[in-house]
Amino acid sequence: MIKMLLNGCNGKMGKVISDMAKTSKTVEIVAGIDRTSPNLGYPCYDDILKCKVDVDVILDFSRPDALDSLCTYSKEKNIPIVFCTTGYSADQLRKIDSLSKEIPVFHSANMSIGINVINNILKSISNMLYKDFDIEIIEKHHNQKVDAPSGTALLLANTIRDSIDSDTFLVKGRDGLSKRQPNEIGIHSVRGGNIIGDHEVIFAGKGECIELKHTAISRDVFAIGSLKACEYIYGKDKGLYNMDDVINLSI
């Protein structure tokens, strides 16, 4: 069994992952990190640097402000780490990239297999459709989500931008009286209730509209992807990995 340390074990996703790991045949949670100590069947520490349990991989589903201690711990102990947290700054993303030069690092803005399949589809069709279609992204999440746009929306938007030959720019919401520019990619955020996560990419042309939509029905989908990521990165050499690597392995 792969011994996992779960950072953010008392959060919404942490609890889902803890429940799912109980039936896993490959991954076992042996310790957790959180500000409170829930009764989840394994020891919980309020600081990762206090953890003395031997682990094979670290899974982080917490907040961006935990990054520095995670990097310090994983680097000192040479433990592969899976980052599932969103809302990182540009400087923090550079730290993650730098860490991958020394240990195996897995980073993805969304752990859903379905979202990452859509992301791969966008690589194939975005440049083909761009000249004749306006591109807009709508994302919806629960009212407790702190970052906007979502990390997934930015993942999809950047994939589209990277796939298009022309220069484009992101417009995060709209206000005022100006017309939409042809090289805009719009991103719109909705926050309300307990929406787990909806993402829709719209290609709006003259007389037709193409829509790619993913709806997370339960948080289980992210837990499944997270455990697959832990399985994947275990035993890997140093480097930066993502969900594309997991999907390609399954094909």
Q: How confident is the model at residue 193 (pLDDT cuts 50, 70, 90)?
A: very high
pLDDT digits (tens, 9 = 90+) for 39-59: 788 999 999 999 999 999 999
In the prediction, which pLDDT does 131 show?
94
Report whether 249 contacts 23 (CB < 8 A): no
In the prediction, which pLDDT does 87 show?
85
pLDDT digits (tens, 9 = 90+) for 114-172: 999 999 999 999 999 999 999 999 999 999 998 999 999 999 999 999 999 999 999 99
- Clarify whether 141 is annotated catalytic: yes
Mean pLDDT of the chain: 94
pLDDT above 90 for 250: no
| Options 3, 95, 145, 236, the catalytic residue | 145
Q: How confident is the model at residue 86 (pLDDT cuts 50, 70, 90)?
A: confident
Report the side by side order of strands in the sheet with 239-241: 44-45, 27-33, 2-7, 57-60, 81-83, 104-107, 239-241
| Options 141, 199, 214, 228, the catalytic residue | 141
Q: Which of the pair, 138 or 251, is modelled with greater confidence?
A: 138
pLDDT above 70 for 60: yes
In the prediction, which pLDDT does 40 show?
81
Confidence (pTM): 0.81
pLDDT digits (tens, 9 = 90+) for 197-222: 999 999 999 999 999 999 999 999 99
In the prediction, which pLDDT does 126 show?
98
Domains and CATH numbers, the chain: 2-111+219-250 (3.40.50.720), 113-215 (3.30.360.10)
- In DSSP notation, the chain reads -EEEEEETTTSHHHHHHHHHHTT-SSEEEEEEE-SS---SSS-EESSGGG--S--SEEEE-S-GGGHHHHHHHHHHHT--EEE------HHHHHHHHHHTTTSEEEE-S---HHHHHHHHHHHHHHHHHGGG-EEEEEEEE-TT---SS-HHHHHHHHHHHHH-SS--EEEES--SSPPPPTTEEEEEEEE-TT---EEEEEEE-SS-EEEEEEE--STHHHHHHHHHHHHHHTTPPSEEE-HHHHHHHH-
